[in-house]
Structure 1
Amino acid sequence: MKFNKRLGLMIVVFALCVGVDQFTKAIAKTTLSMDSVREYLGGSIKLLLTHNTGTFLGLGGTLPANLRYSLMIVGIGVFLLALLLYTLLNKRADAVTVASLTMVFSGGISNLLDRIIYGGYVVDFMNVSAGSLHTGVFNVADMVLLVGAIMLFMVGFKTKQQIAHG
């Protein structure tokens, strides 16, 4: 994929993903409370405002502040910069791969922005359950990151199948 098309695709995906995430977080911060839960569809969808100082499912949230800062702002920031450069410079990547990598980058950047703006935490506000199965509390950036990762997995799986049968 040519650089200009790759860059254009990246800008559109990034703007949509970060824009929707930050917009929904702004709504959550103004309409939800950390003291109450709103339930929909018989409790299958819950909206509650939380401040997540950790990563996925709160992992690392109890680490000492300096270590948490180093890992979750500096470490993740370096990883995201490397991912951005890889995506920008990867001439062999097709549109789906570029979109997938950009989704992972966008979800990470949007949560990183929260950490920088709010002094170390990410705004989370959604929880989904089906019977005894339930998610942790998450946000749109987490969904974008997960969908991007699944898309990358599927692209890799498809590529391996093509190699095996090609």
Structure 2
Amino acid sequence: MKFTRRTAFIVLTIVLTIAVDQISKVLVVNNIEPRTKTSYGETISLIGDYFTMMHVKNEGAFLGMGSDLEGPLKIVLLLVLPVIVLGFVLRHIIKDKSLDNWSLFAFASIIGGGIANVYDRFAYGEVTDFLYIQITDTIRTGIFNLADLSVTTGMIILVVMMLKKKNNVPEQEL
């Protein structure tokens, strides 16, 4: 692989995404009392009751899905499969020179967020989640982290870019 400006952009985006996520999780783990089965822990208001922080350990994937799985199935679905998918996505963005800058950034953000959460599952057996948005009782998120935000933002950018391409709006390349 030739190390070009484009490759540097991919690597930098992935590394920064992982670094920001991991630093945020260390700050949360060291400064906010976690929620447990017997304790609500600490909740910090960022914007009233609409945007709060709390410390939650997630043994599953998105919204705790898969946390009840056991043994090899849990390892395959929450560690092995994500690593394989992330590897294929990385291979795709390195090889596909036709990707526009926004799509490249989006894919790299998804890879960085995915790697950050897979690392947590591998190193700690769980992922630290800490952000929560609740506008009304029905308009609310699950508890998430910055890696989740990177993956979600990347997906939104990809959808927007696909819609732009469908409408033939040109984009410059790196």
Q: Deviations over 1:100-124 (max 9, x none)?
A: 1101111100101111110x21111
Query: 2 CA distance for matches of 1:95 and 1:44?
Result: 33
- Bigger helix fraction: 1
Of the candidates 126, 132, 139, which is equivalent to residue 127 of structure 1?
A: 132
Q: 1:65 to 1:48 in 2, by over 3 A?
A: farther
Count of aligned pairs: 161
Listed one character per residue, the Cα deviations across residues 83-136 of structure 1 (whole Å, up to 9, x for unaligned) are 111111111112111111101111100101111110x21111111111222111
The answer to whether the 8 A contact 1:6-1:95 is kept is no
Query: Is the aligned partner of 1:14 residue 2:14?
Result: yes
1:29 corresponding residue in structure 2: 29
The CA deviation string for residues 40-86 of structure 1, in whole angstroms up to 9 with x for no partner, is 33211221111111111111111123211111100101001111111
Match of 2:85 in 1: 79
What residue identity is the alignment partner of 1:81? G
Alignment root-mean-square deviation, CA: 1.6
Deviates more, 1:139-148 or 1:57-66: 57-66
**Which residue number corresponds to residue 38 of structure 2?**
none
Structure 1: runs of 5 or more not aligned: none
1:102-113 matches, within 5 Å, as: 102-113=108-119
**Deviation of residue 3 (structure 1)?**
6.5
Alpha-carbon separation, structure 1, partners of 2:10 and 2:47 = 35
Distance 1:130 1:3 in 2: 45
Are residues 1:50 and 2:56 paired? Answer: yes
1:60 is paired with a residue whose SS is coil
Residue identity opposite 2:134 in structure 1: S
Identity %: 28
Contact 1:3/1:91 (<8 A) preserved: no
User: Contact (CA 8 Å) 1:18, 1:141: kept in 2 or not?
Assistant: yes
Instruction: Give the match for residue 156 of structure 1.
Output: 162
Question: Which amino acid letter does the alignment assign opposite residue 8 of structure 2?
Answer: G
Gaps of 5+ in 2: 35-40, 170-174
* Segment of structure 1 superposing worse, 148-157 or 44-53: 44-53
Dislocated runs of 4+, deviation >4 Å: none
TM-score by length of 2: 0.87
